[in-house]
Amino acid sequence: MRRVLRWLLALVPILLIAALIVIFGILPYGVARSIAHTLTHPARAPITRTPTDVGITEWTTVRLDAPDGIQLVGWFIPPPLTTANGTPSDGTALLYLHGFGGNRQSMLFQAAVLYRQGYGALLIDQRAHGESGGELSTLGYLEMGDASIMIDFLLNEPSVNPKKIGILGESMGAVVALLSASHRANDVRAVIAQSPYASVEGAIDQATRRNAGIVALTLVPLARMAIQTEIGVDPAAINPLEQIYWISPRGLLLMHGDLDPVVAPINSQQLYDAARTPRELVFFANGGHGGLIEDDPALWARRVTAFLARYLRDDPIEDGA
């Protein structure tokens, strides 16, 4: 009996080590893979409305081929001939980029508000979203190339003034907007980034910590590794904080909700601090993640309208400036 007891006692350290391996090794790895899959394989939200439902009658469905052959589907709304108050249009147009898990419909209300002020719109489902092809979201990496194709579309659209093209993005779409504008500053004249994250690594960390519990310290680096495996690139390469410097001298407007539970407001502050003038930063009291136009319609309309009038419509910067 004593021999059996001694044998059982000898097993205790082994069992304890095995338990620790499961708790801090195998279990975190499984959770990290699950988080990585969730962050790169969005559930598709259906398209249930069209521009007609918000009073826009002139629009067409467009299909663009991404650099890797994936088809991107969206709506093109030509700039109206006149604004709601009768002012002649000047061919200004905005590219709208929705956030992770959304689709072009989620940007339709914003496009409708600005359409009445004379702004045309290109609203595209990002890859793996809505009706566009692909099953994998790369959190901004391949999406930046997709956005470049969208910019080319606007540049070659006869109804659009190529000197007056801007981008308005939300969450992941805001990050794609910042990265795209930093690489194509001669083509993108104004950028509005709503609820952006300063870096993909930071976004992964925040998402992981929300789901990590006791294994957070182990899980964060594992989640980064799992994301890299999923998208095929180091998340550190998707870093608007390092690229935002190059948007200047184009206009930049950053907007964030004070109570954003997904991307902390400090992200927009960090981006603002890293950018050069001209730049603006607006925080929405009690605002959440995205949907800032619903949180405070008057503030959104006032700041966005003034910004676009200043940096896109009235005084476009010449190439090479």
Please report, for the chain, the start and end positions of each structural domain, with discontinuous segments joined by +: 1-40+202-233, 47-199+238-313
pLDDT of amino acid 319: 45
- Return the H-helix or E-strand segment holding 287: none
pLDDT of amino acid 229: 85
Lowest mean pLDDT among 61-65, 173-177, 312-316: 312-316
Report pTM.
0.87
pLDDT of amino acid 299: 97
Residue 191, pLDDT above cutoff 80:
yes
How far is residue 36's CA from residue 25's CA, in Å, rounded to a whole number?
Answer: 16
| CATH no. for 47-199+238-313 | 3.40.50.1820
Categorize the per-residue pLDDT at 17 as very low, low, confident or very high, splitting at 50, 70 and 90.
very low
Residue 165, pLDDT above cutoff 50:
yes
Please give the backbone phi and psi of residue 132, each rounded to the nearest 5 degrees, phi first. -75, 160
Q: Is 26 exposed, middle or buried (0-12, 13-18, 19+ CB in 10 A)?
A: exposed
Could you give the C-alpha distances from 105 to 1, 2, 200, in angstroms and in order? Answer: 72, 72, 24
Q: Is the Cβ–Cβ distance between 269 and 301 less than 8 Å?
A: no
How far is residue 47's CA from residue 130's CA, in Å, rounded to a whole number?
Answer: 7
